Amino acid sequence: MRKLFVLLTAVTLILMLAACGGNGGTSDTGSTGGDAARGEQLFKQTIIGSASAPGCITCHSLEPGVVLVGPPQNNVGAEAGMRVPGQSAEDYLRESVVNPDAYVVDGYAPGLMYQFYGRDLTEQQIDDLVAYMLTLRN
């Protein structure tokens, strides 16, 4: 009976740890649970998501001062934490992907960015994009 209890306890602990997602928590240090390398690949695709939406690179340059449609992203990892008071860089970037008009950078009009990445991308893809964008610093 005791062996069964120990076994059930161990299985319960393993299931609880798996449900927590390991190191998938969030913080300002970039621990989004995302993979920056996958995020970079996704960012640089011209078409992404289940609805074949425009990829990030079609509207956002990675070159300083080069404007395509939206603001350049070359330093977004450093700037993101300063955009909205009280909001972390990670939270700002995630919000910018899933709800692009929540904060619009000065000089740009609302409604320009595709509005449905939150629906068309998986949570993992969003995590990967955020992880990559957090690495973009001059």
The pLDDT tens digits for 30-54 are 456 999 999 999 999 999 999 999 9
Neighbours of 128 (CB within 10 A): 24
Q: Please name every residue paired with 48 in a beta bridge, in sequence order, or none if there are none.
A: 53
Q: Is the pTM of this model over 0.85?
A: no
- On the question of pLDDT at 129 being above 90, the answer is yes
Tokens linked to 135: 């690495």
For the chain, list the domains and their CATH numbers. 26-134 (1.10.760.10)
The pLDDT tens digits for 62-121 are 999 999 999 999 999 999 999 999 999 999 999 999 999 999 999 999 999 999 999 999
Q: Tell me the C-alpha distance between 50 and 85, whole Å.
A: 33
pLDDT value, residue 1: 52
The pLDDT tens digits for 6-23 are 333 433 333 333 333 333
Task: Identify which of 135, 108, 129, 136 has the alpha carbon closest to the alpha carbon of residue 53.
Answer: 129
